Copies of this chain bind each other. A is one copy, B any other.
Amino acid sequence: MILALAGGVGGARLANGLAGVRAPGTVTIAVNTGDDFEHMGLHITPDTDTVTYTLAGLNNAELGWGQKGESWAFMEAAKALGAPGWFALGDRDLATHVLRTERLRAGETLSSITADFAERLGIAQLIVPMSDDPVRSMIDTDEGELPFQDYFVRRRCEPAFRRIRFAGAAQARPSPGLLAALKQPALETILICPSNPVLSIAPILAVPSVAECLAARRVPCVAVSPFIGRTAVKGPAAKIMAELGLDATPAALADQYRGLIDGLVIDRADADIGDEAGLPLLVTDTLMRDEADQRRLAAETLAFAASLPR
């Protein structure tokens, strides 16, 4: 059994690689839900959907969110009726949000709905939200505190990032699937996917039992760096690290995950500064352009983790 902690695109890609090299039912992908929010009365859970769509082969690779071959008739009609246009919901993507919202309102857990959707889309691995309890990432910026999606999408990460807090995290329990994976006797390895450490992985670690279980782990935990050549492959991670006075480097990442990881996978472009991390390293090509890249990086990372003592 493998447990992977994942955010959006980068996490989804490595998770898809893991799914490609592992037997069905042997990978649990625990996904950040700090980005979740209500929009137009619908419960949107972006990272869970990105992981689900990617493993189902339905993801929109150009956009980095939503479904491929997406159409926008709903948004056009909604704007004519006064809906805000800053968060786009594709016609196909909308089905996920509408059906999830209906089931949540009927009392079903996000875990149960996520598992059902994954099964219906033919996904053989376990996708679990980090928690079924609401955790909401709130970004303190030079324009004041903004809910995550206001900062990330509406304001396009333009306000200077000061601090993030995870409202509700202190009371949140890990989802049953994440807890089962953490306590699973057959657990071999924990992976932290190449997701934004501050926005995507920190919310998962903010759920108290998760950090505790990780600190008390009996199996190796390895992080794959989201940085290549001292910057982020995608998204605002480098900008945010800079605004926090941090570098987009292996050493800064090792600091971020101090005590939680036993090794670090970094890109060849950062090989010269890898030793500053003070951790066992796998230096390889971490850019995942296609599914072959995803599977190769997943296999190399698993082999590296298996080589580490714990």
Given A71-B71, A74-B91, A98-B98, do A120 and B41 touch, yes or no (CB 8 Å)? Answer: no
User: With an 8 A cutoff between CB atoms, is A80 at the interface?
Assistant: yes
Whether A95 and B71, one on each chain, are in contact in the complex, defined by CB atoms closer than 8 angstroms, is: no
Please choose the segment from A99-107, A130-138, A269-277, A294-302 that sits at the chain B interface, where 4 or more of its residues have CB less than 8 A away: A99-107
Chain A interface extent, by class: 20 to 34
Whether B102 and A74, one on each chain, are in contact in the complex, defined by CB atoms closer than 8 angstroms, is: no
Whether B80 and A121, one on each chain, are in contact in the complex, defined by CB atoms closer than 8 angstroms, is: yes
Contact of A99 among B73, B76, B83 (CB under 8 A): B83
Chain B CB count within 10 A is highest, among A73, A75, A92, A121, for A73
User: With an 8 A cutoff between CB atoms, is A81 at the interface?
Assistant: yes
Whether A74 and B92, one on each chain, are in contact in the complex, defined by CB atoms closer than 8 angstroms, is: yes
Whether B96 and A81, one on each chain, are in contact in the complex, defined by CB atoms closer than 8 angstroms, is: yes
Q: Given the complex, which residues of B lie within 8 Å of A90, measured CB to CB?
A: 73
Whether A41 and B78, one on each chain, are in contact in the complex, defined by CB atoms closer than 8 angstroms, is: no
Q: How far is the CA of A120 from the CA of B106 in the complex (A)?
A: 32
Q: How far is the CA of A101 from the CA of B74 in the complex (A)?
A: 15
Q: Given the complex, which residues of B lie within 8 Å of A116, measured CB to CB?
A: 82
Whether B120 and A80, one on each chain, are in contact in the complex, defined by CB atoms closer than 8 angstroms, is: yes
Given A41-B105, A91-B91, A105-B41, do A98 and B78 touch, yes or no (CB 8 Å)? Answer: yes
User: With an 8 A cutoff between CB atoms, is A59 at the interface?
Assistant: no
Given A71-B73, A73-B92, A91-B71, do A40 and B78 touch, yes or no (CB 8 Å)? Answer: no
Q: Given the complex, which residues of B lie within 8 Å of A78, measured CB to CB?
A: 95, 98-99
* A42 and chain B: residue at smallest CB distance: B98
Whether A120 and B74, one on each chain, are in contact in the complex, defined by CB atoms closer than 8 angstroms, is: no
Q: Given the complex, which residues of B lie within 8 Å of A71, measured CB to CB?
A: 71, 73, 91
User: With an 8 A cutoff between CB atoms, is A117 at the interface?
Assistant: yes
Q: How far is the CA of A91 from the CA of B81 in the complex (A)?
A: 14
User: With an 8 A cutoff between CB atoms, is A94 at the interface?
Assistant: yes
A positions within 8 Å CB-CB of B: 40-42, 67, 70-71, 73-78, 80-83, 90-96, 98-99, 101-102, 105-106, 116-117, 120-121
* 8 tightest A-B CB contacts, nearest first: A41-B102, A77-B95, A73-B91, A78-B95, A77-B92, A91-B91, A74-B91, A73-B92
